[in-house]
Amino acid sequence: MIRSVIADAARADRTPPADPGFGVYVHWPFCLSKCPYCDFNSHVRGAAIDESRYLAAFKAEIAHRAGLAPRRTVRSVFFGGGTPSLMRPETVQGIIDAIASAWRLDKDAEITLEANPTSVEAERFLGYRSAGVNRLSIGVQALNDFDLKALGRKHTVVEALAAVRLAASLFPRFTFDLIYGRPGQSEAGWRRELAEALNYVGDHISLYQLTIEPDTMFERLRDAGKLELPDEELGLAFFQATRELTYARGLPAYEVSNHARPGGESRHNLIYWRYGEYAGVGPGAHGRLLTSKGRLAQETERHPEMWLTQVETEGHGLVESAPLSREEQGDEFLLMGLRLSEGVDPRTFEKVSGRLIDPERIRSLVEDGFLELDERGRIRVTAMGAPLLDTVVADVAA
């Protein structure tokens, strides 16, 4: 029963548009504290942040990217971090205005801001809505106070649910995140927790299996034998339970870790996964821009103060801006696109990469149950292949 439900979810028909669109990612790198599982570019500062100075730098970077990629229509803006909900609403408004001045901001553009559900940040929600944010993404992470503390989170379950309810009352769309596969967690416990969480969902929820990233506190604890994680079998049970429960509530997986009602998908992330074009501004931001030099892979200086100084002296914070080879583009196209339940079109892959996908390799993976071909000839990862996504992608790309 579980496998059939997951397979049905994977077959959800979401026909991708011909043009993935253009988005802008804005990275705010500051947090109140560093979570022990986090490998994002986030930094803790004891002193107050000079937001006026950072806003001026964001405006300069936006103008620089618009010079490289002019006359775009911005379909989505995403404020990520770090903790963007530590920004003043006025700073968010200034960045949105700068984007609208540099490019054409679509009247239906999705503008998402990541938020932590502490009481202080929740009080800013109305300000963000007035600034133009129309989608909030809340880092709930667990509905268990003991586990929240173990994950390094500064909020309680009560605060988290209050923030979710407030977001539902203020924003046209909202989502929140949970992490599963936590130390000591059972499948039954996760099923209860997810069932409760789904009572608060709008049109989207993100559910991530805990992974141990390099150079994190959790990696050091694991290597010291002080962090016991679920084994592979239990991890698969978590994954299958997640697919089963979300599908039953009308929120099938449209990507490995993301679930939505039809039409509720993250438009910004779909630009990434459909291999669209996006500008990245702020410390440590990445971008992919189409220019006369080809498709550029861009990355900015990670250290916030160094990024700030570089922007003020050079007009941008880029430390890398290099054209990707067609082979590299093909690999990225597969890596991103096969995350989606809609899969990838081999003909698009050929246009991007200049090479064909080996039909014998696809046939073998289909016969083994890891891939399937739909009626349009698109290649999709099956329910059995999804937990082994990295291996399947490597096989297709070989």
Q: What angle do CA 82, 269, 19 make, to 5 degrees?
A: 145
Per-residue model confidence (pLDDT) at position 146? 95
**How confident is the model at residue 15, as a pLDDT?**
66
242: left (phi over 0), alpha (psi -120 to 50) or beta: alpha
What pLDDT score was predicted for residue 12? 46
Q: What is the pLDDT of residue 9?
A: 44
pLDDT tens-digit series, residues 90-121? 999 999 999 999 999 999 999 999 999 987 77
The strand pair at 277-281 and 22-28 is best described as parallel
User: CA nearest 112: which of 124, 96, 97?
Assistant: 96
3-state helix, strand, coil in the chain (%, to 5): 40, 25, 35
Per-residue pLDDT tens for 29-65? Answer: 999 999 988 888 899 998 999 999 999 999 999 999 9
Given a cut of 50, whether residue 11 has pLDDT beyond it is no
Q: What is the pTM of this model?
A: 0.93
Please name the helix (run of DSSP H) or strand (run of DSSP E) that holds residue 287, with its range, or none. Answer: strand 286-291
Q: Which residue, among 50, 127, 110, 116, has the nearest Cα to 85 in the 3D structure?
A: 116
Q: Where do you find CATH 3.20.20.70 in the chain? A: 2-272
Asked if pLDDT for residue 8 goes beyond 60, the answer is: no
Among 12-16, 53-57, 264-268, 382-386, name the one with the lowest average pLDDT.
Answer: 12-16
Range with the lowest mean pLDDT among 66-70, 256-260, 386-390?
Answer: 386-390
Beta 318-323 vs 294-300: how paired, if at all? antiparallel
What topology is assigned to 2-272 in CATH?
A: TIM Barrel (3.20.20)
